[in-house]
């Protein structure tokens, strides 16, 4: 089984992004945070650090875990109206009762660099230009980087969230794959996933995908990031179990994750250069 790492691809994307960021107004990304979740705050710090590395300014607007939905909406609207801000990201999780999709309607689609506004998903579904969620875009970038053919092939996506599964299904359809989307109510998951020549696991369930779920030779992309007891991360795919069957697999960590962050910055540089 081949291991499809994301690090070299992420570095290449960052290099192109740096050049793009230097070619116009300095891009500025605003990240709105309303949580005390340590993993989420760690991710925001990693975005800020990566942004600085490619010449993008990253402002973290921390509203605190008690922020009211109205306050979050007003902040997103203010940043969307600010000519100096090119990208707006709403970090999750959010305070109880707040809907990320509802709040993200306040993000200007031209600045919606993580495809969170439902308008962006609608445009994507309609085949119109829009920023896809960086994670879904990262899956496509990995498939392209490793020259995985998609046209006419069976692609199975496990997960139907608006962040990963749904936008990814549209991106795969645009590339002429035959797409099946599975979810928590799918009956006999293994029978469906074993049809996939390309299989994407984005369920957030550690080890969900085992040998019986994978077709011989399938290209498997593991989007899952599940915390382990020792403070690390593990994917949705049981890498050891599928090693004999799968043709290729992305590692966790070091697969989709680094490409996601790199593409978020790429989208920001693009947003800064929009006419």
Nearer to ligand NAD, 82 or 95 (CB): 95
182 lies in the site for ligand NAD, by CB under 6 A = yes
Helix (H, G, I), strand (E, B) or coil at 71: helix
Exposed/middle/buried for 229, CB within 10 Å: 0-12, 13-18, 19+?
exposed
Whole-angstrom distance, CA of residue 264 vs CA of residue 262: 6
Residue 23 near residue 273, CB atoms below 8 Å? yes
Tokens 């540089």 appear where?
269
Q: What minimum distance in Å lies between the beta carbon of 101 and ligand NAD?
A: 11
Residues 118-177 that bind ligand NAD (CB under 6 A): 135, 158-161, 163-165
- Tokens, residue 193: 């996933």
Binding residues: 159-161, 225
Kindly tell me which residue out of 145, 175, 205, 270 binds ligand NAD, with binding defined by CB under 6 A: 205
32 lies in the site for ligand NAD, by CB under 6 A = no
Whole-angstrom distance, CA of residue 239 vs CA of residue 241: 6
225 lies in the site for ligand NAD, by CB under 6 A = yes
234 lies in the site for ligand NAD, by CB under 6 A = no
23 lies in the site for ligand NAD, by CB under 6 A = no
Kindly tell me which residue out of 224, 265, 269, 271 binds ligand NAD, with binding defined by CB under 6 A: 224
Kindly tell me which residue out of 90, 98, 219, 256 binds ligand NAD, with binding defined by CB under 6 A: 256
Torsion (CA) 214, 148, 47, 273 in degrees, nearest 10: -150
260 lies in the site for ligand NAD, by CB under 6 A = yes
Size of the site for ligand NAD (CB under 6 A): 25
Whole-angstrom distance, CA of residue 75 vs CA of residue 200: 34
223 lies in the site for ligand NAD, by CB under 6 A = yes
Residue 48 near residue 31, CB atoms below 8 Å? yes
The residues of the shown chain that bind ligand NAD, judged by CB under 6 A, are 135, 158-161, 163-165, 182-184, 186, 189, 202-205, 208, 223-226, 256-257, 260
């Amino acid at each position: 089984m081949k291991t499809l790492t994301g690090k070299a691809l992420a570095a290449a994307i960052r290099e192109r992004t740096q050049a793009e960021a230097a070619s116009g107004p300095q891009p500025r990304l605003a990240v709105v945070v309303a949580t005390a979740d340590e993993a989420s705050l760690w991710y925001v710090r990693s975005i800020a650090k990566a942004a600085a590395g490619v010449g993008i300014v990253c402002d973290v607007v921390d509203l605190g875990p008690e922020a009211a939905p109205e306050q979050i909406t007003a902040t997103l609207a203010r940043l969307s109206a600010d000519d100096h801000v090119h990208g707006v990201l709403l970090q999750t999780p959010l305070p109880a009762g707040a809907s990320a999709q509802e709040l993200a309607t306040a993000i200007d689609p031209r600045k919606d660099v993580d495809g969170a506004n439902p308008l962006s998903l609608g445009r994507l579904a309609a085949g119109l230009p829009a920023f896809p969620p960086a994670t879904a875009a990262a899956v496509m970038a990995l498939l392209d980087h490793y020259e995985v053919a998609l046209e006419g092939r069976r692609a199975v996506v496990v997960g139907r969230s608006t962040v990963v599964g749904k936008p990814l299904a549209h991106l795969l359809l645009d590339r002429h794959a035959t797409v099946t989307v599975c979810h928590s109510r799918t009956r006999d998951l293994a029978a469906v996933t074993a049809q996939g020549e390309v299989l994407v696991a984005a369920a957030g369930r550690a080890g969900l995908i085992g040998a019986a779920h994978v077709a011989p030779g399938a290209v498997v992309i593991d989007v899952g990031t599940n915390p382990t007891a020792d403070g690390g991360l593990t994917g949705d795919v049981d890498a050891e179990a599928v090693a004999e069957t799968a043709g290729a697999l992305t590692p966790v960590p070091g697969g989709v994750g680094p490409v996601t962050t790199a593409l978020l910055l790429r989208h920001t540089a693009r947003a800064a250069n929009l006419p």
